[in-house]
Chains A and B, each alone.
Chain A
Amino acid sequence: MLHRLPTKALIIILPVMALLLSVSSVLAFGIGVAPGKMEFSTRPGGTEMQTLHVINQANQKSEFQVYVEGGNAGWFTITPCELVLTAQESKDVEILFAPPLMTTPKEHDFTICIVSVPTSLDLSIGAGIKIPAHVQITGLPSMAIQWWIASVVILAIVAVGLLALWRRKTRHA
């Protein structure tokens, strides 16, 4: 009869609504990636693209997020950064590394995180993988930047020359 008494409401409990008392789900979550580490090398203003292979090792459809941890994570662009994979499905994610033009040549370490996003109730369990990404920003700007700088310098020289000619003409006049 105790179970019918209103005093039950006075007991501080954490009633978990699921039917089972312990483990509410036997679904397995899993994730696989290749390669297990990445290395990028480019000049300031340059780009390098690499591919990360993501595999859903779960026995059900799962949602994944890919992002970069580190001080200058904005140098990376990930496409797609969110993906949904069916059981055992795999997909390539493009990792684009593009340090800004004014970056000081230096080596940096980042961490690329790939995590399956759990959607269940209670204490959801997710699987994530962290792979190290070592980047080397070399001393010279990229070829495109070199051409751009050269063009600006040439234009500046031409402009100075033209200005000198114009002054000489006006002085003679």
Chain B
Amino acid sequence: MIGKIIKSRFLSLLLVLSLLLPCLATTPVMAAGPYPYSTADSEVSNALDYLRGQQGSNGSIGDFATSAWTVMSIAAAGEDPSSWQVGSNPTIVDYLATNAGSASSTNDYSRMILAIAATNEDPTNFGGVDFLSLLQSVYDGRQIGDSSLLNDDFWGIMALVAGGEDPTSAIIQNSISFILTNQNGDGGWSWGVGQASDVDDTATAIMALIASGQSPSSAPVTDALDYIKSTQIDNGGFESWGSTNSATDSWGIDSIAAAGEDPTSAGWQSGLGNDPVDDLLTFQNADGSFNWTQTTPSNIELMTSYAITALLGVPYPVAVLQPQQGVTVNVRIEGQSGTVWNDTVTVNDSTIIDDQGGQHYFAEPTALGALDEASQLGGFPYVVQDTAYGLYIYSINGEEPAGMAGWMYRVDYVSSMVGAADFILNQTTPPDPPHQEVLFTYSEWGQAPLKVEVDNANPGVGDTFTVTVTEYDDDTSTWSPTASATVHADQNYTTGQDGTAAITINSDMTVEVYAEKDGYIRSNRVTVVVGEGSAQPGDNKALGMEVDIIPAISFSISPGSINFGDLGPRDTSDPVTVTLTNEGAWNLLITTTVTDTAQGLYVEGLKLDSVKWDIFSTTVMRDDTTNCIATLTVPEDYTLTGRQDGTLIFWATDAG
């Protein structure tokens, strides 16, 4: 009997074990630490120590390209690459600067900019090389570098962003369009146009898109991530040429981190429960370095550098310099019979389209770029012709050249010897920077610009103020009085031999004073406020009236939605502030209604200012703002999980 019982229990144990065994066999291999890793984790610190041990007396770690990648890894680890040196020998940054001239391809320029940005150095002058200009010079108006390649666009975009280029600039946005046009049907990208997708290039494309501002939830990015996921094999790594390797794993992990995802999360685990970090760590050697594959070491320093950024969860670009701020100047356009435009613009890079449809990209803020910006802001057209001497401004606002007259330009009244497309604002001389105004004039060669100045821009009614008109002499670079010029104010005046005109206005008035003279370029305008001002010439007999009527009831709310975060039953959220602003004419009484599709989650659990929402009310006085604090308590017996949506309406009525 006892034997039967023992036999029965043994059989039961065997049965249980047979059920558990498959589960045990598929238990994921745990990574040594939580992702992302830190420099305190041995996986990273050992890798960094390995690289440090490989530094040569000239500062290099591996070859020139590997040294640049290593600089990025050092920066990603939060260390200063400029401090990496053997004794008092050159640092690794010194090594890159010394050998900067050896960079010769588009991808060389990009890699260098990424490394330079990681060291917080100037990519326009590193080792005497302007890498940003070199990279911008290979942009053809549509894409960067070789039009049959895609990888030079991926890295080029990341480099431009890292170098401080505005992500909304034409060079980046057009290159992004080029990339998106060449996304394969499987969601991935290749190194070249029309080629099959691979993980390495898909990962770099993802990083480029996100660096340029593309949302991680956008279809191109999610499709690309799906492609990368589709290449994952049982060991957790991403298949490349039939197996996995540390470089592909590293870039794949980088792209996942760039998208804000955790590469060790369940979604990135293989059927056997392994994730790409698990696979990457299988390539790490005892000395901290990383092999390319299990059997092939291949450029260990490079593989180790790639692995460090991946383990740290720091995708490329590892650092981004401050975007260019642009140059702000005044643009004044004096046409044949009047001023076409006069206002300030901020110029950065620009793409000028000539009359034949040709695109001309200028990375620097040019005088022509200022015209282009003014045209966009002012809504007036201009036409540029591509001639043997460069871009020529043919017409502005429909005014075309005739006889000896045509469009010319001056910067701070100085006529430049270079074309407007070649005049870089705040850089080209003469005149000396900083530059204040770009003046485009419909004039003949040799015509001098006029300038007006007043001795009192706010005279009293009946007070006399003096307008002085001067003309600029291009030969002597001096100003001299202009006699017999017509001064426009409340009426026309004529300057005397000393270039002045005395003006007395006997009523409150605001006038714009400017001067004209045949054979000269129309002057600037100076606003003179006489007395209280406001009335314009010709309107001084009428009493102007103006009032802004605001609505009786008007208010605004911020934010537009509330995410209370992760909560469980019995949890109460952190307080969220909702701001109510009365923008109307009446005082407001505010109440609320709540609806939800969440089994009463919000209806039951939402409180405003510590009271249930249906009891809540507050008064917001005219021109006043009030805050209310929203909290959400999840009922103890609440059974739903996942995101729950609801609607909170703030109702305003007249508070009397």
Contact = CB atoms under 8 A, between A and B. Distances in A.
B651 A129 contact: yes
A83 B583 CA distance: 21
- Residue in B553, B563, B646 with the greatest tally of chain A CB atoms within 10 Å: B563
A82 to B, nearest CB: 16
Interface string A1-39: 111100000011111111111111111111111111100
A163 B133 CA distance: 105
A21 B652 contact: no
Nearest to B654: A36
A125 B650 contact: yes
Contacts of A24: 559, 561-563
B567 A121 contact: no
A113 to B, nearest CB: 8
B155 interface: no
A55 B569 CA distance: 41
Given A1-B30, A13-B568, A124-B645, A57 B554 contact: yes
Given A4-B264, A118-B561, A121-B561, A15 B566 contact: yes
A22 B565 contact: yes
Given A16-B566, A33-B551, A123-B647, A28 B641 contact: no
Contacts of B578: 125
A127 B559 CA distance: 11
Contacts of B630: 123
A28 B557 contact: yes
Contacts of A66: none
Contacts of B581: 30
A105 interface: no
A83 to B, nearest CB: 16
B648 interface: yes
A53 interface: yes
Interface residues of B, number: 59
B642 interface: yes
B409 to A, nearest CB: 37
B398 interface: no
Nearest to B577: A23
B560 A28 contact: yes
B650 A16 contact: no
A32 B648 contact: no
Contact of B552 (A26, A31, A34, A123): A34
Contact of A131 (B550, B642, B654): B654
Interface string B530-573: 00000000000000000001111111111111111111110000
A125 B554 contact: no
B555 A127 contact: yes
B576 interface: yes
Contacts of A130: 651-653
B653 A20 contact: no
Contacts of A17: 643
A127 B649 contact: yes
Contacts of A30: 554-557, 581, 583
B592 to A, nearest CB: 9
Interface in B626-642: 630, 632, 634, 640-642
Contacts, number: 196
A35 to B, nearest CB: 6
Nearest to A126: B649
B644 interface: yes
B583 A32 contact: yes
A14 B642 contact: yes
Contacts of A21: 563, 565
B49 interface: no
A110 to B, nearest CB: 13
Interface residues of A, number: 51
B401 interface: no
B559 A27 contact: yes
A58 interface: yes
Nearest to B554: A32
B649 A123 contact: no
A115 interface: yes
Interface in A47-87: 53, 55, 57-58
B484 to A, nearest CB: 50
A16 B643 contact: yes
Given A36-B553, A115-B649, A126-B648, A15 B559 contact: no
Contacts of A33: 551-554
A57 to B, nearest CB: 5
A127 B653 CA distance: 11
B562 A125 contact: yes
A29 B581 CA distance: 10
A32 B563 contact: no
Given A4-B31, A57-B554, A118 B646 contact: no
A125 B651 contact: no
Nearest to A14: B567
Contacts of B651: 113, 115, 128-130
B80 to A, nearest CB: 31
B598 to A, nearest CB: 9
B442 interface: no
Contacts of A53: 551
Interface in A118-151: 118, 120-132
A32 B654 CA distance: 12
Given A34-B551, A126-B648, A23 B569 contact: no
A53 B262 CA distance: 50
A69 B555 CA distance: 21
Given A118-B561, A124-B647, A125-B560, A15 B642 contact: yes
B643 A22 contact: no
B584 interface: yes
Contacts of A22: 562-565, 574, 576
Nearest to A117: B647
B126 interface: no
A34 B585 CA distance: 10
Contacts of A20: 563
Contacts of A132: 653-654
A167 B655 CA distance: 72
Contacts of B560: 25-29, 118, 120, 124-125
Contacts of B553: 32-34, 36, 129, 131
Contact of B559 (A12, A25, A34): A25
A66 to B, nearest CB: 14
A58 B642 CA distance: 30
Which residue, B593, B634, B649, has most C-beta atoms of chain A within 10 A? B649
11 contacts: A22-B576, A29-B560, A32-B584, A36-B552, A57-B583, A122-B563, A123-B632, A124-B646, A125-B647, A126-B650, A128-B593
A-B pairs with lowest CB-CB distance, top 9:
A30-B556, A32-B554, A36-B552, A32-B551, A27-B560, A24-B563, A28-B558, A120-B561, A34-B551
Given A1-B33, A32-B554, 14 more contacts: A14-B567, A20-B563, A28-B559, A29-B556, A30-B581, A55-B554, A57-B555, A57-B556, A118-B561, A122-B645, A123-B564, A123-B645, A124-B646, A125-B561
Interface of B: 28, 30-31, 33-34, 260, 262, 264-265, 549-569, 574, 576, 578, 581, 583-586, 593, 602, 606, 630, 632, 634, 640-654
